[in-house]
Amino acid sequence: MDLQDVYDSAIEVARIAGKMAYEAFHRDKVVETKESSCDLVTETDKQVENYIISTLKGKYPTHKFIGEESVASGDKCHLTDDPTWIIDPIDGTTNFVHRYPFVGVSIAHYINKKAAVGVVYNLVLDQMFAAKKGGGATMNGKPISVSLCKDLKSSVIIVEFGSTRDPEQLRKKVETMYNLAVNHAHGLRSVGSAALDMCNVACGSSEAYVEYGVHCWDIAAGAVIVEEAGGVVFSPQGGPFNIMKRGVLAASSSELAMQITPHVKHIDLQSD
């Protein structure tokens, strides 16, 4: 398999998909809900996913596909050893609906359940984040790397409420935020796109990002980009990272990640 070809295709398709979505960004949208009243989807999410999957299927007919909107409409979400594209057509749909400019197209390619390529395109700010296993990470073609800061007390940490409105989960998320703030993190931020949260860690504009409740399509591409930028990715409790397990802790270093984990309230969720 020619990984360079997969990488080039992912970038090209992400850019065109981003342009399609950007055309709708300033317009009023038809909004539907999925798992909760705050889990949004628009007709653009579905159109963009159809474009991405049909284009990549045409080029790679034997590959498997996992896409957020295809899974929402009944497809299986099952990662095998086969070459698999994992797609979030619009990550940050709430941002997209409200015109908050952190909206990403996320496309990852996995082989033997391991990340090979990750591309995340911020379609409003025109920032293309990309990484190929062993090849480093870039933003608009220029190398990026994580922050050198390894101390919680000098870190900006991204935390998200996500789309759940389950009171117990929200209480635990608030407790995590409180714990990080009371332990003197420089700042807490919520960007509203898991894929772009990971890119923020990769390019050094935040030191870490932690969230329970994400799905594999939110974080599959970002994980490659963080690692190739010199960062680390764990479960929120500091164990091995698994994209199917609904949680992520991305950080600029293991030292920082291990200072964060004791403050994160565990949330038990069913895997993808």
Positions touching Ca ion (CB under 5 A) are: 88, 91, 218
Catalytic (active-site) positions: 68, 88, 90-91, 93, 218
Is residue 69 a contact point for ligand IPD (CB under 6 A)?
A: no
From 53, 66, 130, 194, residue interacting with ligand IPD (rule: CB under 6 A): 194
Cβ–Cβ under 8 Å, residues 143 and 228: no
Task: Tell me how many degrees the CA angle 111-208-36 measures, rounded to the nearest 5.
Answer: 75
Region near ligand IPD per CB under 6 A, out of 57-65, 79-87, 187-195, 247-255: 187-195
Distance in angstroms (rounded) separating the CA atoms of residues 41 and 32: 5
| Neighbouring C-beta atoms of residue 83, cutoff 10 Å | 16
Is residue 67 a contact point for ligand IPD (CB under 6 A)?
A: no
Q: Which of residues 204-243 bind ligand IPD (CB under 6 A)?
A: 211, 213-214, 218
User: Which one, 93 or 155, has the nearer CB to ligand IPD?
Assistant: 93
Distance in angstroms (rounded) separating the CA atoms of residues 42 and 81: 31
From 18, 67, 118, 192, residue interacting with ligand IPD (rule: CB under 6 A): 192
Strands (E), 44-194: 64-67, 84-91, 104-111, 114-122, 127-132, 137-139, 142-143, 156-159, 187-189
Residue type, 60: Y
User: Which one, 209 or 234, has the nearer CB to ligand IPD?
Assistant: 209
User: Which one, 221 or 229, has the nearer CB to Ca ion?
Assistant: 221
From 47, 127, 163, 205, residue interacting with ligand IPD (rule: CB under 6 A): 163
Residue type, 1: M
| Contacting residues toward ligand IPD, per CB under 6 A | 68, 88, 91-94, 160, 162-163, 192-194, 211, 213-214, 218
